[in-house]
Amino acid sequence: MNKQSITQYYRKHRKAIVTATSGLLYGGGWSLGYLTSFEMASAAILVLATIVGGYDIAKTAYHEVTNRTLGIKTLVTLAAIGAIVIGEYWEAAAVVFLFSLGSYLEGRTMRKTRTALQELLEMTPDTATVRHDGELQEVPAREVEESEVVVVKPGGKIPVDGDVIDGESAVNQAPVTGESAPVHKADGDEVYAGTVNQEGALEIRTTGAGSDTTLERIIRRVEEAQEAQSPTESLIDRFAKYYTPAVIVLAIGAYAVTQNAILSLTLLVIGCPGALVIGPPVSIVSAIGNAARSGVLMKGGEHLERAGKIDLVAFDKTGTLTKGETTVADVEGFGVADDEVLSLAATAEKKSEHHLADAIVDAARERPTAATDGGTTVARADDTDAGRRSVPDPDDFDVVAGKGVIGHTDGQEVVVGNRALLADRGIDIPSRVADYVREREGRGETVVHVVRDGDIVGAIALRDELRETAPSVVAALQDAGIETVMLTGDNKRTAAAVAEEVGIDEYRAELLPEDKQTVIEGYQADGHVVAMVGDGINDAPSLATADVGIAMGAAGTDTAIETADMALMADDLERIPYAVKLSKATRWNVLENVGLAVLTVTVLLAGVLTSYVTLAAGMLVHEASVLLVILNGMRLLRY
Amino acid sequence: MSDTTQFRVLDFDCPSCASTVERALSNVAGVQHVEVHYATGRVEIEYDDSVADPDAFVQTIESQGYTPQTA
């Protein structure tokens, strides 16, 4: 080893070396103390141990004093100097050694917590292969510009955010969304930096690189979340501000009254509320870090602590419990051909952005040109290519929120909507229509009526498949003692059928968007701590009203991340029981840590004041309690 | 002009150490705003780049006994 590498080694391991040396000296001095004739040598070695171990502590203490902060290192330095002054060399060396050992171990364990997120960032490759005028060039990933085309080989990591313009592959998005199953990607699909291209080559048009990628944005948010103080943390910080000066005053007072120097110095040693201030942040940082690696973005300790109290989870039905891919299941004409019913409805709905409207318009386009089951052929002259029919624009149309649409075409008025809309307009529903509707709703389908010039001419049943995971997720929450509720704009019968299929405790149907907020407020008034799960865009108001708003499929949609307290990067319902349980575990963990710290301080104070605990023992217990809360908090990293 | 830089200090061993570093950094000439987070070890410094020299930040952190890494 040359001189330079020795210096480097020393700098890197300075804390360990200093601690070990001070420990060895301490051990030596202490053993020598048992030999009567070596008392002077023993004292000298113990003082040396104190100086070796205490130099760095004293240096920081000096900085603390010059920067007018009152930290534990100042207290430890004072205690060590005091112990030497009164001739308690053993105590001085022991305090310094135990403190160095403790802070060395604390630094090491905290490093693990602090680097938990770094692993995610390291997923992004440093270089990217860019296509420039038909030639491939290797460039630093951070320097790729927007709209440049990046080529990623099979097995390669994707270096930028972008849209696939060529190729087809399965991409493992675990670093961003936490999903372990690869996602199929083809033309036009969005891919994220840091994800892994598993099968075929992909060409990607860059939309973001460097610090402007989804992964980097998520990590920045996670760090902000980790740094945001939870209510417990702010409370403890306020307490700590007074605690340390109070203990110093107590130490001075104790000396004035008892003239017992050891007692006063011991008070100084335990005068830093170590475990109390360290415990909660470690728990919260570990939990948020763990969640981030599983594709759940928690917005901060405050939200996490609140989420730990959740006792009711409300799910929006469409797109949350269901896949949100509504398709037409059946069309029934009453005195009119099925196809004509669909055409009329599609025209009226064409300009609407509602998901039911999209399904109806799509179905009308996909229908074969000649009607097969109606008798009347309604083929039109303007049929487009590939057997897709065009849907004419309505002359005008109005949306009645939560009820349906009213449009005009070819001089006819077409109303497409639910019972409420028909009732509003005074349209009677014949019994055979009502029978049909009841039958379809019993299967969990949503039915809209199609009305032409005041007469019901047909009905369209629409179906939105449940997510396969929905029943098991609801069951997992119920097992954890949490009530589940489904909120939907659908009618009661459809809602009941879906609720039964999912196994959910309760459902609230026929809700207009603003009603969902009211329902949540109602549960809150009943004393529930409510989490609301939705898509984060349409449900933004109810997510904001709930105690904890959980947005699904948030990767890439900043609005959803903004409004929610918790965002699931993937459309993966199974993260919800995980997130709720993690929050509960975190809340317990914080309580355990606070409890342990308070217990330690109480026992120590009592011990010191009754002279059972002296300097070294006080320091040992203090450091042990700090390490214990850190290790306890870190359990959440592996939850 | 105002500029922002970040460091990561992985070896903070107590919350009060983080506050001390924060105070020390805010006394460096040209520094407008400093945030030091104990839990994540993140140090964020906003400074006037015509006055302050980022090397001085590294030195200040090192003189307190901690190792800053660029992040």
- Domain positions in chain B are 2-70
**B10 contact residues in A (CB cutoff 8 A):** 107, 110-111, 114-115
pLDDT score of A26 more than 70: yes
Cβ pair A324, A462 in contact under 8 A: no
- Measured between CB atoms, which of B12, B14, B37 is closest to A274? B14
Q: Categorize the per-residue pLDDT at A262 as very low, low, confident or very high, splitting at 50, 70 and 90.
A: confident
pLDDT at A385 over 60: no
Q: A272, A244 in Cβ contact below 8 A?
A: yes
State whether residue A142 sits within 8 Å of chain B by CB. Answer: no
Question: What is the rounded average pLDDT for all residues in chain A?
Answer: 85
Q: Verify that A48 and A171 share a domain, yes or no.
A: no
Most A CBs within 10 Å, among B12, B14, B62, to test the A interface: B14
pLDDT digits (tens, 9 = 90+) for A451-491: 888 888 888 988 888 899 999 999 999 999 999 999 988 88
Interface check for A71 against chain B (CB to CB < 8 A): the answer is yes
Q: How close, in Å, is residue A24 to chain B by CA atoms?
A: 22
Contacts (Cβ under 8 Å, ≥6 apart) of A610: none
HSE, CB side, 13 Å, CA atoms: give it for residue A597.
24
> Nearest Cα to A418, choosing from A443, A383, A450?
A450
Report the b/e string of B5-43 with b at 16+ CB within 10 A: bebbbbbbbbbbbbbbbbbbbbebeebeebebbbbbbbb
Give tens-digit pLDDT for A485-512: 999 888 888 899 999 999 999 999 988 8
Most confident by average pLDDT, A196-200, A391-395, B28-32 = B28-32
Q: Which residues contact A238 (CB under 8 A, 6 or more apart)?
A: none
pLDDT band at A582 (very low <50, low <70, confident <90, very high): very high
Contacts of B14 in chain A (CB under 8 A): 71-73, 103, 106, 272, 274, 278
On whether residue A502 sits in a domain, the answer given is no
pLDDT of residue A625: 92
- Residues A452 and A327 placed together within one structural domain of the fold: yes
Whether residues A413 and A367 fall in one domain: yes
Q: Which residue of A has its CA nearest to B27?
A: A67
How many CB atoms are located within 10 Å of the residue A115 CB? Answer: 15
Whether the pLDDT of residue A302 is over 80: the answer is: yes
B20 contacts A71? CB cut-off 8 A: yes
Say whether B17 and A227 touch across the interface (CB within 8 A). no
- A241 has a pLDDT exceeding 60: yes
pLDDT over 90, % of chain A: 27
Which residues from chain B sit within 8 angstroms of residue A106, using beta carbons?
13-14
Better-predicted residue by pLDDT, A337 or A189: A189
**A115 confidence band (pLDDT: 50, 70, 90):** confident
Contact B15 A277 (CB under 8 A): yes
- CA-nearest of A506, A505, A465, A511 to A491 is A511
* Span A542-571, average pLDDT: 82
Question: Is residue A381 scored above 60 in pLDDT?
Answer: no
* Rounded Cα distance, A572 and A579, in Å: 12
CB contact under 8 A, B38 and A282: no
Distance CA A495, CA A486 (A): 8
Show which of A185, A211, A237 is a domain's final residue.
A211
**Who among B8, B17, B40 is closest to A285 (CB)?**
B40
Do the Cβ atoms of B10 and A110 come within 8 Å?
Answer: yes
Which of the listed CATH numbers 3.30.70.100, 3.40.50.2300, 3.10.180.10, 3.40.50.300 matches domain B2-70? Answer: 3.30.70.100
Does residue A3 sit at the B interface (CB-CB below 8 Å)? no
Name chain A contacts of B39, Cβ cutoff 8 Å: 113-114, 226-227, 281-282, 284-285
Taking the CB of residue A440, how many other CB atoms lie within 10 A of it?
Answer: 23
Closest Cα in chain B, distance from residue A88 (Å): 27
pLDDT digits (tens, 9 = 90+) for A58-111: 988 888 888 777 778 888 899 999 999 998 898 899 999 999 998 888 888 888
Cα of B7 to nearest chain A Cα, Å: 13
> CA separation (Å) from A144 to A128, A166, A187, A222, A311?
8, 18, 21, 25, 47
CA A282 to chain B, closest CA, distance in angstroms equals 7
> Which pLDDT does position A388 carry in this prediction?
66
Residue A375: pLDDT over 50: no
pLDDT tens-place string over residues B31-54: 999 999 888 888 999 999 888 888
Cβ separation B41–A110 shorter than 8 A: yes
Confidence category of residue A374, pLDDT binned at 50, 70, 90: very low
Chain A residue numbers touching B19 (CB-CB < 8 A): 69, 71
Residue A318 in any domain: the answer is no
Q: Are residues A259 and A136 in the same domain?
A: no
Place of tokens 């209510």: A231
A223 touches chain B (CB under 8 A): yes
Neighbours of A186 (CB within 10 A): 12
Give the model confidence (pLDDT) of A316-364 as tens digits. 988 889 887 888 888 888 888 888 888 888 888 887 777 788 888 888 8
Say whether both A275 and A409 belong to one domain: no
Radius of gyration in angstroms for the set of CA atoms belonging to chain B, rounded to a whole number = 11
CB of A22 less than 8 A from some CB of B:
no
Domain of A282? 213-310+512-639
CB A2: neighbour CB atoms within 10 A?
A: 7
Q: Indicate if A207 and A219 belong to the same structural domain.
A: no
The number of folded domains in chain A is 4
Whether A557 and A272 have beta carbons less than 8 Å apart is answered as: no
Within A324-367, where are the H helices?
338-349, 355-366
Last residue of a domain, one of A80, A115, A150: A115
Please name the residue of chain A whose CA is at the shortest distance from the CA of residue B24: A67
> Is the pLDDT at A444 greater than 50, yes or no?
yes
- Based on the domain organization, do A274 and A228 belong to the same domain? yes
Strand order in the sheet with A548-551: A296-298, A566-568, A548-551, A530-534, A312-316, A483-487, A506-508
Q: Given A431, A465, A499, which residue is the final one in a domain?
A: A465
Rounded to whole angstroms, how far apart are CA atoms A67 and A612? 35
Lowest mean pLDDT among A273-282, A365-374, A426-435: A365-374
**A338, two tokens:** 């099925």
Angle at A99 between CA A65 and CA A66, to 5 degrees: 5
Q: How far is A228 from chain B (nearest CA, A)?
A: 10
Q: Give the CATH number, domain containing residue A452.
A: 3.40.1110.10
pLDDT attached to residue A256: 92
Chain B residue set in contact with A, beta carbons under 8 Å: 8, 10-17, 19-20, 23-24, 27, 35, 37-42, 63-65
Interface contact A278-B41, CB threshold 8 A = no
Alpha helices, DSSP H only, in A33-178?
Answer: 39-66, 72-85, 89-115, 118-121, 174-177
Nearest-CA distance from B60 to chain A in Å?
A: 11
Residue A504 lies in a domain: no
Indicate the residue of A67, A104, A227 with minimum beta-carbon distance to B42: A227
Q: Same domain for A279 and A303?
A: yes
What 3-state class would DSSP assign to A473? helix
Residue A316 annotated as catalytic: yes
pLDDT band at A556 (very low <50, low <70, confident <90, very high): low
Could you tell me how many CB contacts below 8 A there are between chain A and chain B?
80
Is A227's CB within 8 Å of B13's CB? no
> Mean per-residue pLDDT for A22-43?
85
Residue A494 lies in a domain: no
**Buried-state track A278-287, b at ≥16 Cβ within 10 A, e below 16:** bbbbbbbbbb
Tokens representing A128 are 């990217």
**A125-129, A504-508, A536-540, A616-620: which has the minimum mean pLDDT?**
A536-540
A486 touches chain B (CB under 8 A): no
Q: What is the ipTM of this complex?
A: 0.85
Among A133, A163, A316, A410, which one carries the catalytic annotation?
A316
What are phi and psi for residue A452, nearest 5 degrees? Answer: -115, 125
Q: Domain check: are A387 and A455 in the same one?
A: yes
